[in-house]
Structure 1
Amino acid sequence: MGENRVFSKLRSAHLLALVLIGLALVGELLLVDGFLANQKKDGEIINVAGRQRMLSQRIVKGIAINHPEVEADISEWQARHVWLKDDLEGNPVQQDLHALDSLVYALSRAARDTAAGVEQVNLLADEFLSGMDRIVDELSAAAAGKVDRVQTLDRWLTALTLGLLLLVLLFIFPPVVRLVRRQYEHIDSERRAQEAARHTAEEAVAEKEATLQELYALYGTLDKVTLYASLSRDGTVVHLNRQFRDLLGTPAPVTGRPFAEILNRQEERQLRMAELLQQASITPWRGQWAVTLASGEQRFLELCILPTRRTGGEVNFIVLATDVTEQQKSGE
């Protein structure tokens, strides 16, 4: 029961560590995805800002050589300026872009005015270029700052993940290994005990079979050389060997008949034998017993009535008898 509680606590701690590691990995993934999305947007903004600088210079060159696509460049330049202000809403550089509105208006007007000289347009373009350089520098610095912050946060998340893994290795895996080792040793001990018990049982079965074989051999010998009978608890015959039947002159079958009736012809002797069987259920009885055969001849038997107890407490009887008539007559 104690090991189950320990295992439950270790499992909970392991699951908690896995959940935290999973959350750290998911957080890192979301952070990287968000950073990549911001980087894509920042890259587009920086590219547009850089193109604005290029367009301002191309407008000046187009006016100088009277290029036919100057008007298209001016329109794109103005549209991109508006796009930058809208896309950078909330960004500090938006104020700098608004500060360039008057310059964009003046440069656009001067570029479209044929009376304005190239020198005036060039001065306005240089001023715009200086302002856009500052804006691009600020955007680049902000993007670099984002990269630094993401890298720092990513390092912390990586350190957290590695720390959790280290905690798992130090405080969860060793107890789990010890618990598994104890369980394995317990199972191995039970297996060895079961093998020993099985071996003992096999030896007991082998000994039992050998004993039964000896008993069967002894029973066969007794059945041939002595007077033998086995009785049920109520005194009826289960088995009466041939020598006993021949002596008593009792024809087969005798199974189920009262032993007292087979052994005695007189009723009082039958009652006496029934009493002896009742006594023998507690204590074995041994003594001489006179038997009158069908021919009228009297024989003397040395009887031994032995109780046998079977499973459940049921008592049966074994009767061993020896014909001692000759000894009895010699004694007389």
Structure 2
Amino acid sequence: MKKSISETAKNFNFKKLKQRYIFALVTIAITVLLSQLVVQYNINTQLDDSRLINISGRQRMLSQKLVKEILILNTFTNPVKTAEQIQTIDSTISLWTTTQNALQFGDKKLNFPKEHSPKLTELYQNISPNLQQIIQTSEQIVQNRKSGGSPVLNQPLIKRVLYNQELFLKKMNQIVGQYETEAFQKVTLQRNIEYAILAFTLLVLLLELQFIFKPTNKNIEELITKLLTSEKKALKLAYNTEILSESKENSVKELKSLNYAMENTLLYCRVANDGTIIHIGEKFAKLINYTAFHADKKFPEVLTSVEKEQHFLSRIITEKQKSGWQGEIHLTNKDNESTWLDLSMIPVTIRKQESELLVICFDITVRKNAEQEVERLNAENIAEKINQQKIISSKIIENQENEQNRIAREIHDGIGQMLTGLKFSLESINLDDKEKSAQKIEYLKKLSLDIIKGVRTATFNLMPPELSDHGIVSSITKLTVELSKLTGKNILFYNKSDFNQRLDSLIEINLYRLTQEAINNAIKYADSSHIIVQLSHSNSLLSITIDDNGKGFDLATVDQKKTSESGMGLLFMKERIQYINGRVFFNSILGEGTRITFNIPI
């Protein structure tokens, strides 16, 4: 036995164990540091790429803004407004050209690169003629208006601007797409590097588990069992011989060495079969606040102050004395503080009829608290989404009720009154008085026409016949014309790509309602005088853009006020466009105007 224990202790080299642990920790630290460096580099790279893509996208908006301002300039006859609009155009041209030069030739302040890929260099060379054409033609238009020239003379120039602006947008879309492609390639490369680092880290952890932790745990268990057995036998044989006394002394030294290692590395204790604590490690004693005052208490009573938890531990000790037990337990001390332990009870045989339990624990409180916090946050997120859906549902019902009340009022106050007047007029006709009868008949004709007009207006508000008969383009054209007549606002519609396809009826009605709501918001809330609706499409995407020159709004502030009327309006637009698998983009500048873009796959 003495020889076996000595060999085990010799094999169990703490210096080697320390070196292994240091190596493991250094390896993990290096991989974590390397991963963080890669993550930080990825974040900086993605920020630069996103800024480039954002500025490139804004160039498209500025070109469209310039065209809108030129169109507006050509409608002004007031010299003061004309001068103000010219200043606005000059400012837009300056910002547009400055940003375009920064994108093409680089800018240190904006952190834009001077060098581009061959594809981007070619795209920038292709777009330069269109940019120069737009700028030169815009300056000619401005100069013509400055010199008091007629707006009619600018029509050919405006057509030239529109033609080049459309080419500019297409080429700028290619540039933005190339930026996105290159950014995606960078992200893919960086993701693969991170995956490689993660795989290496997992491999290191697996190797550490296989070649460090598992052998160490096995050696500790073997050594503890053999040392405990050796200690008992040495105490008995020490009275009879000096040789056994020397063996005892050596065993005690080995036990002290092992005990020192266990005291400072493990949460452990030795427990008798009746639950009495034989010995408890220093680290474990500090964790559960064990003192000499608790010496007469049993292990479950020291571990927790909750009676239910004490019964659970006592039952495990009683039932698992021979088979052992492993699992996670929750403990509560006298200060009502919670602790989670990963606890293992290992049966150890001292003599033939004598045994005890070796308890080894790991403190997993931090991990458990993190899991509970994640569960709490998930529950709060679900509750918030449910509440938001309730608000949306109530608002939808409220809007439907308001719409029904409005239609009822229109029919009652308008059509109903006219029908009543028609009835009384018919009853009052005296056929004997032909002259008055003829006058009343003429009045009844006019009243009938008003009734027909009222019915058509009500049905148009409910479902425009153009939408079901001719499609989205015809219905939006009719909508802008009617609203322009009713409100006196300058509302224009451009079918830029000559779109003439029919879509699913559900998509068409939702697109129509979204466009109608965006125009009504520009009229009602933005105090706009000019509203431009543009429709364009590609092979896979239909896009509708509504621009106004109103007072604009702060998108971040509106998003925070989700229960306000403006916040719910944006939320309804997002919900409705998502219903038809589309996307909506809001771009607003305080004091300058708002752009709303709807994109729908076709």
Give the aligned length: 201
From 129, 133, 146, give the equivalent of 1:106. 133
Does structure 2 retain, via aligned residues, the 8 Å contact 1:35–1:150? yes
Amino acid paired to 2:202: L
| Cross-structure match for 1:39 | 46
Query: Is 2:210 aligned against 1:170?
Result: yes
Contact kept? 1:56, 1:77, Cα under 8 Å: yes
- Where 2:115 maps in the other structure, the secondary structure is coil
CA drift at 1:49:
0.4
Task: Report the alpha carbon displacement of residue 37 of structure 1 after superposing the two structures with TM.
Answer: 1.3
**What is aligned with 1:147?**
187
Whether the 8 Å CA contact 2:57–2:176 is kept in 1: the answer is yes
Deviates more, 1:171-180 or 1:11-20: 11-20
- Who is 2:232 aligned against? 192
2:90 aligned with 1:71, yes or no? yes
The answer to whether the 8 Å contact 2:12/2:219 transfers is no
Which of 1 and 2 has higher RCO (CA within 8 Å, sep 6+)? 1
CA deviation vs aligned residue, 1:241-281 (integer Å, no higher than 9, x gap): xxxxxxxxxxxxxxxxxxxxxxxxxxxxxxxxxxxxxxxxx
Aligned partner (choices 29, 34, 37) of residue 30 of structure 1: 37
1:88 matched to 2:113: yes
Distance 1:75 1:168 in 2: 63
Whether 1:62 and 2:102 are equivalent positions in the alignment is no
The worse-fitting range, judged by mean Cα deviation, of 108-117 and 68-77 is: 108-117
List aligned pairs for 1:200-211, cutoff 5 A.
none
- CA contact under 8 A between 2:59 and 2:96: conserved in structure 1? yes
Tell me if structure 2 keeps the 8 A contact 1:59–1:70.
Answer: yes
CA distance in 2, matches of 1:19, 1:78: 53
Q: CA-to-partner distance for each residue in 1:78-133, whole Å, 9 max, x for gaps?
A: 11112212013222124432443343233212111125610111122122112111
Q: Which amino acid aligns with 2:115?
A: G
Are residues 1:50 and 2:57 paired?
Answer: yes
**Deviations along 1:200-235, whole A, 9 cap, x unmatched?**
79xxxxxxxxxxxxxxxxxxxxxxxxxxxxxxxxxx
**Alignment TM-score, normalising by the size of structure 2:** 0.31
CA drift of 1:145 comes to 1.9
Give yes or no for the alignment of 1:160 onto 2:200. yes
82-91 vs 70-79, which deviates more? Answer: 82-91
Distance 1:107 1:127 in 2: 10
Q: Deviations over 1:160-190 (max 9, x none)?
A: 1111111111111122123323443454355
The separation in 1 between residues aligned to 2:240 and 2:169, in whole angstroms, is 101
In structure 1, what residue type is equivalent to 2:218?
R
Q: Which amino acid aligns with 1:70?
A: I
* Contact map agreement 2:123 2:175 (CA 8 A) in 1: yes
Aligned partner of 1:296 in structure 2 is: none
Deviations 1:255-312 (A, max 9, x none): xxxxxxxxxxxxxxxxxxxxxxxxxxxxxxxxxxxxxxxxxxxxxxxxxxxxxxxxxx
Cα pair 1:7 1:176 within 8 Å, conserved? no
CA shift, 1:193, in A, is: 4.8
2:220 & 2:227 partners in 1: Cα distance? 10
**How far 1:12 moved relative to its partner?**
2.9
The 8 Å contact of residues 134 and 164 in structure 2, kept in 1 or not, is answered as yes
**Alpha-carbon shift at residue 22 of structure 1 (Å):** 1.8
Q: Whole-Å Cα distance in 1 between the matches of residues 129 and 113 of structure 2?
A: 18
SS in 1 for 2:200: helix
TM-score by length of 1: 0.54
* Structure 1 counterpart of 2:27, one-letter code: L
Q: Partner residue of 1:16?
A: 23
Cα distance in structure 2, aligned partners of 1:132 and 1:118:
20
Distance 1:130 1:88 in 2: 23
Separation in 1, partners of 2:98, 2:221: 74
Shift of 1:195: 3.2
Which consecutive unaligned segments of at least 5 residues does structure 2 have? 1-5, 74-84, 107-111, 145-153, 242-602
Alignment of structure 1 residues 247-286 onto 2, 5 Å? none
Q: Write the deviation string for residues 134-177 of structure 1: whole angstroms up to 9, x where unpaired.
A: 10001111122222222222222222111111111111112212
Following superposition, the deviation at residue 197 of structure 1 comes to: 5.9
* Paired-residue identity, %: 25
CA distance in 2 between partners of 1:20 and 1:95 (Å):
47
- Runs of at least 5 residues in structure 1 that lack an aligned partner in the other structure: 202-332
Native 8 Å contact 1:46 1:139 kept in 2: yes
Corresponding residue for residue 213 of structure 1: none
Structure number with greater Rg is 1
Q: Is the 8 A contact 2:70 2:89 kept in 1?
A: yes
